[in-house]
A and B are shown apart, each in its own frame.
Chain A
Amino acid sequence: MTQAAPTAPCRLQINGEDYDADLPPSVTLLDLLRERLGLTGTKKGCDHGQCGACTVLVDGRRVKSCLMLAVSLPDAQVTTIEGLSRKGRLHPMQQAFIDFDAFQCGYCTPGQILSAVALLEEGHIRSREEIREFMSGNLCRCGAYNGIIDAVEHVVAQRQRDEAGEAA
């Protein structure tokens, strides 16, 4: 007789919606999103924390969802690429990726965009060099790096203009 795999409670908010279920503890956040919730915008690339395609935000900070157990994140707020747009309008970073040709095949793009959104909050955006260094956890096999950095720089500049406008 085989023994049933043990489960543990998993309670999360994903893109603002509550999720509450018992899961086998071996289910990663990535597999929860893709396989159980159908949120396939988050991509599985290497599944070993190296490529960054699975990047999502947990409590506002960027993480690799392939290296997190879903049951180990009680009450966490998870944001995936599906949760970035507001009222049908793309997030400025999503729009900038389109405008600056920041992808070719698009597989790394959701992870790149979430990483870049977190980067803005972290503030490691003082130079092109710094943006490159702090985007190094996201690989792009098509080599769209120049477009990606252009897109991030554009949003940084846009934000600075908006903030200057608000202050004026």
Chain B
Amino acid sequence: MRSFSYSRPASFDEACRVPERTRFLAGGTNLIDLMKSDVERPAHVVDLKSLSMDQIEELPDGGLRLGALATNAGTAEHPLVTGRFPLLASAILAGASPQIRNVATNGGNLNQRTRCHYFYDPDMVCNKRSPGSGCSARGGRNRIMAVLGTSESCIATFPSDMCVALAALNAVVRLRGPDGERAVALRDYHRLPGETPWIDNVLQPGEIVTSIDLPSVSFGEHYTYLKIRDRLSFAFAIVSVAVGLDMESGVIRRGCLALGGVGTKPWCVPEAEALMRDRPPSHSLFRDVAECILEGAVADRDNAAKLKLAPRVIERALWQAAEGTPQSQTCKTIR
């Protein structure tokens, strides 16, 4: 690891006033790894852990505020989350390993980088790591890469499981920076790569994620997080689906759905969700939803399987949610 200076600011104002080539440190499970791989080369590391942002609390409107520094494990096991937002708990437990979840934070989860292996390999060109150098994944070993939201310059997936559930739950990201506070919908937080794939999200210099707010609609009964991967545990998604359905007398009043493993960001298509409004679950409806959400998907050399796999996982997940039989993250048999 290259040398860097380390500081622990006492206040937000101090933390936000950072020199160039600064990285904020929360859990560090991704950042430190990237520094070891010489992908991230900060001159200054500003440790946010002394800023109190680790609470999980109820909001007056019935929603939940997840502190940016609350750990993934602490969030997934918090009674307010397991009791009311089991979709979020399930998605968190589907990701990483217990040791990582004990340290990794909610804010850090949003800001983690892709796991595209070309991004991690400084001997290969990568527009995300080194702007303008080219994309090794296009035409390369790209079985794990994205089929939605890609561009000529990047086809890397965004790796989070948690954010897929947060997208389905319509979470809101709260930010604080040198110019004050603002809120951004999770669905708008991550950027498409376009011609600037090195910019992952809308975070501005000096800006810090302070919390993630969950609206009161929690899909406590009809939900699932279904993740398909190469190993049964501790592997990133090939395809994952988060579903929440608000059901009444066997009819879907509102359906929310997000995909992981296939897009350059957590993938949501409001038109696909709207198809479910006031409709009873059926094979033809769920097929239409899958078709709509995958419209425009393009495979590269090795990842065409995702085009066949994704609709099947979407339909299976929609049935799991409709029937109130969410995927267990312990027993991996898919029903």
> B25 CB to closest chain A CB, in angstroms?
7
Which listed residue (A6, A52, A133) contacts B3, Cβ 8 A? A6
State the CA gap A91–B3 with chains docked (Å): 39
Contacts of A6 in B (CB 8 A): 3-6
Which listed residue (B6, B25, B32, B100) contacts A137, Cβ 8 A? B100
> A56 CB to closest chain B CB, in angstroms?
9
B233 x A55 contact (CB < 8 A): no
Contacts of A24 in B (CB 8 A): 3
State the CA gap A130–B328 with chains docked (Å): 10
Identify the stretch in A32-40, A63-71, A93-101, A151-159 within 8 Å (CB) of chain B at 4 or more residues: A63-71
Interface flags for A32-50 (1: CB within 8 Å of B; 0: not) read: 0000000000000001111
B6 x A67 contact (CB < 8 A): no
User: Which parts of B99-152 form the interface with A (CB within 8 Å)?
Assistant: 99-100, 102-103
B47 x A26 contact (CB < 8 A): no
| Contact A64 to B103, CB < 8 A, known contacts A6-B6, A25-B5, A25-B6 | yes
| Contact A69 to B32, CB < 8 A, known contacts A64-B99, A136-B97 | yes
State the CA gap A119–B98 with chains docked (Å): 9
* A13 sits at the interface (CB 8 A): no
Question: Residue of B at shortest CB range from A123?
Answer: B77
A137 x B234 contact (CB < 8 A): yes
Give the interface size bracket for A toward B.
35 or more
State the CA gap A95–B62 with chains docked (Å): 49
B5 x A55 contact (CB < 8 A): no
A67 x B29 contact (CB < 8 A): yes
* A82 sits at the interface (CB 8 A): no
A28 x B32 contact (CB < 8 A): yes
* B287 sits at the interface (CB 8 A): no
* B284 sits at the interface (CB 8 A): no
A136 x B234 contact (CB < 8 A): yes
> A51 CB to closest chain B CB, in angstroms?
10
Which listed residue (A52, A63, A69, A127) contacts B330, Cβ 8 A? A127
* B1 sits at the interface (CB 8 A): yes
Contacts of A63 in B (CB 8 A): 99, 102-103
* B49 sits at the interface (CB 8 A): yes
Contacts of A124 in B (CB 8 A): 98
A67 x B103 contact (CB < 8 A): yes
* A105 sits at the interface (CB 8 A): no
Give the interface size bracket for B toward A.
20 to 34
User: Which parts of B1-53 form the interface with A (CB within 8 Å)?
Assistant: 1-7, 25, 28-29, 32-33, 35-37, 45, 47, 49
* B329 sits at the interface (CB 8 A): yes
State the CA gap A68–B102 with chains docked (Å): 12
* A115 sits at the interface (CB 8 A): yes
* A5 sits at the interface (CB 8 A): yes
State the CA gap A118–B103 with chains docked (Å): 14
Interface flags for A124-162 (1: CB within 8 Å of B; 0: not) read: 100101101110110000000000000000000000000
B2 x A26 contact (CB < 8 A): yes
A72 x B49 contact (CB < 8 A): yes
User: Which parts of A69-95 form the interface with B (CB within 8 Å)?
Assistant: 69, 71-72
B100 x A5 contact (CB < 8 A): no
B3 x A64 contact (CB < 8 A): no
| Contact A68 to B4, CB < 8 A, known contacts A49-B100, A62-B102, A63-B103 | no
Question: Residue of A at shortest CB range from B49?
Answer: A72
A69 x B6 contact (CB < 8 A): yes
State the CA gap A149–B102 with chains docked (Å): 21
Interface flags for B226-241 (1: CB within 8 Å of A; 0: not) read: 0000000110000000
Contacts of A21 in B (CB 8 A): none
Question: Residue of A at shortest CB range from B37?
Answer: A48
State the CA gap A130–B37 with chains docked (Å): 33
Interface flags for A2-26 (1: CB within 8 Å of B; 0: not) read: 0001101000000000000000111
Residues of A within 8 A of B (CB): 5-6, 8, 24-26, 28, 47-50, 52, 55, 61-64, 67-69, 71-72, 115, 118-119, 122, 124, 127, 129-130, 132-134, 136-137
Apart from A6-B3, A72-B47, what are 16 other A-B pairs with CB-CB below 8 Å? A5-B3, A26-B3, A26-B4, A28-B32, A48-B33, A62-B102, A63-B103, A64-B29, A64-B100, A69-B32, A115-B99, A129-B331, A133-B233, A134-B98, A137-B98, A137-B234
Could you list 8 A-B pairs, sorted by A, with CB under 8 Å? A25-B6, A26-B1, A47-B36, A62-B98, A72-B25, A72-B47, A115-B99, A137-B96
Residues of B within 8 A of A (CB): 1-7, 25, 28-29, 32-33, 35-37, 45, 47, 49, 73, 96-100, 102-103, 233-234, 329-332
